[in-house]
Amino acid sequence: MRCLMSKRKFDLPGIDELNKDQKAVLRLKESGQHLVIGGPGTGKSVVALLRARKFHQKDNYLFLTFNHVLNSSTKQVCGIELKSDTAQSWFYSLQFNLAPGNDFELKKMPHRTDSNGMEIQHSPNYDKVIERFDSYVNQKNSNLPANDTHFIIDEGQDLPIGFYESLQSLGFENFFIVADQNQQITEENSSRQELTDVLALENDEVVELNENYRNSSTIAKFANHFYTDKASPAPNLPDRPSLDTPTLYVYEMLNSCISMIHREAIRDTERLIGVIVATEAKRDTYTKILTKAVTNENINVSSYSNESKQNVNIDFSMGGVVVLCDKSVKGIEFDTVFIVLDDLKIINNDADAIKKRLYVMSSRAKEKLFLFRSAVMPNEVEGLLPIDENLMIRDKI
């Protein structure tokens, strides 16, 4: 049987569809520094995109995202030719272009070093960057960008405070940041208080979004089991009952998992299914086996590897199956999510770090959530899962 993949519908809401807190965000002044805090599904990305539309005709804004997958997804759903980039890619280009002449050492990003004096890749030494930026300002470097740019930053908690301080050293003043401290998944990040301080805001100037418009009630309750950080408010539980309680399946054979994902894909071809894994090796395995399993059907299986850089070949407007590592799913939502717990490990006894990753992964699901665990591989993460059967059912396949 061949299935015809269906187009999914996504439109940004109109003003009359926003709640009072979201409307308050849209009334914020165009200039200045703003921080919006909210949990998964509260509309942080929505209000950020609606703000981008305000500046679109003026072309004096830049929408920055945490990773390439979120950047691609955002561009596909925003309804405008969004002027956007990933924060780190743009920052590296900025530093490179500001360095005068052809001095390689100046154009090269200064990185932090480990205890052995080795550079830590993708980890800028922001103190040294700020020193350079300050010198460029003092020298009135001809490459300095206009500092009236309005930065709109999604998932702002996953950027270190030095990132913001570096931009401020160049004279940039207009920041609109949406963030959730409970969704921090990077080692270098910013807390809510750090963001409040760097933006020179009073605590009562921070806007909180509390209504969850994404998850069913059962999925929201499951996700909230992993809520660890009181600095960002947990969203109110949505009033969207569902008969589909999140379920953990312990499997003997991988093909059992593949068959279940396959059945979900052909059940409704308009739905987008996310398969979330912990490692590149698992991502590659699931992508290859799922692609082979649907060879005779018109079901799209897509994925993204960090090696692909900006080349994200995922169409979020169509139904199908998307296989991603968990650090690539920030800000993305799926109708159905399968979380593969294998290879997910607690590092340095930091259970809260894994809980935050589970919080992010599970809250991607709108309607259905399943988890897989191998029956033959030890798994230290299962002990963090809820034992209340109202939150999660355990079964075998």
DSSP E strands in the chain: the ranges are 33-38, 61-65, 84-86, 111-113, 119-124, 150-153, 174-179, 207-209, 247-251, 272-277, 301-303, 320-325, 334-340, 365-374, 393-396
Domain annotation covers residue 354: yes
Q: Which residue stretches of 242-375 are H helix? A: 254-267, 280-293, 351-362
Q: What is the mean pLDDT of the chain?
A: 91
Task: Of 147, 186, 141, give the one whose Cα is nearest residue 167.
Answer: 147
DSSP E strands in 119-213: the ranges are 119-124, 150-153, 174-179, 207-209
Burial class (CB in 10 A: 0-12, 13-18, 19+), 71: buried
Domain annotation covers residue 10: no
Domain annotation covers residue 310: yes
Please determine, for residue 295, whether its predicted confidence score (pLDDT) is greater than 90: no
173 and 320 fall within a common domain: no
Binned at pLDDT 50, 70 and 90, residue 328 comes out as very high
Model confidence over 94-131: pLDDT tens digits? Answer: 999 998 878 888 899 999 998 888 888 889 999 999 99
d(CA 327, CA 88): 15
Binned at pLDDT 50, 70 and 90, residue 2 comes out as very low
Cβ(392)–Cβ(386) below 8 Å: yes
Model confidence over 257-276: pLDDT tens digits? Answer: 999 999 999 998 889 999 99
β pairing state of 111-113 and 119-124? antiparallel
162 and 107 fall within a common domain: yes
Domain annotation covers residue 9: no
pLDDT for 1: 44
Binned at pLDDT 50, 70 and 90, residue 56 comes out as confident
At which of 179, 209, 239 does a domain end?
209
Domain annotation covers residue 2: no
pLDDT for 297: 82
Domain count, the chain: 2
186 and 285 fall within a common domain: no
Burial class (CB in 10 A: 0-12, 13-18, 19+), 292: exposed
Structure tokens at 337: 């999510």
Task: Of 48, 91, 1, 109, give the one whose Cα is nearest residue 331.
Answer: 48
Binned at pLDDT 50, 70 and 90, residue 9 comes out as low
- Domain enclosing residue 293, as ranges: 217-396
222 and 193 fall within a common domain: no
264 and 377 fall within a common domain: yes
Domain annotation covers residue 4: no
pLDDT for 16: 86
Please determine, for residue 35, whether its predicted confidence score (pLDDT) is greater than 70: yes
pLDDT, mean of residues 235-243: 89
144 and 235 fall within a common domain: no
74 and 170 fall within a common domain: yes
Please determine, for residue 143, whether its predicted confidence score (pLDDT) is greater than 60: yes
Task: Of 57, 85, 76, give the one whose Cα is nearest residue 154.
Answer: 85
Model confidence over 301-313: pLDDT tens digits? Answer: 999 987 777 788 8
Task: Of 121, 367, 377, give the one whose Cα is nearest residue 257.
Answer: 377
CB hemisphere CA count around 241 (13 angstroms): 1
Assign residue 296 the CATH number of its domain. 3.40.50.300
Burial call 81-108: b when 16+ CB within 10 Å, e when fewer? ebbbbbbbbebeebbeebbeeeeeeeee
| C-alpha distance from residue 355 to each of 40, 172, 224, 232, 365 (Å) | 14, 35, 10, 15, 16
Residues 6+ apart with CB under 8 A from 353: 346, 347
Domain annotation covers residue 125: yes
Out of 55-64, 157-166, 288-297, the most confident range is 157-166
At which of 209, 243, 261 does a domain end?
209
Q: Which residue has 């994902």 as its token pair?
A: 261
pLDDT for 7: 59
Q: Which residue has 């979380």 as its token pair?
A: 339
In the chain, the amino acid numbered 334 is F
169 and 257 fall within a common domain: no
The pTM of this model reads: 0.92
Domain annotation covers residue 239: yes
249 and 362 fall within a common domain: yes
At which of 209, 232, 252 does a domain end?
209
Burial class (CB in 10 A: 0-12, 13-18, 19+), 343: middle
201 and 70 fall within a common domain: yes
Cα-to-chain-centroid distance, residue 203? 25
Model confidence over 199-221: pLDDT tens digits? Answer: 999 999 999 999 999 999 999 99
Cβ(193)–Cβ(216) below 8 Å: no
Model confidence over 243-262: pLDDT tens digits? Answer: 899 999 999 999 999 999 99
pLDDT for 8: 60
93 and 178 fall within a common domain: yes
Beta-bridged to residue 36, according to DSSP, are 178, 207
| C-alpha distance from residue 32 to each of 116, 159, 200, 219, 379 (Å) | 42, 19, 10, 37, 47
292 and 166 fall within a common domain: no
395 CB neighbour count, 10 Å cutoff: 10
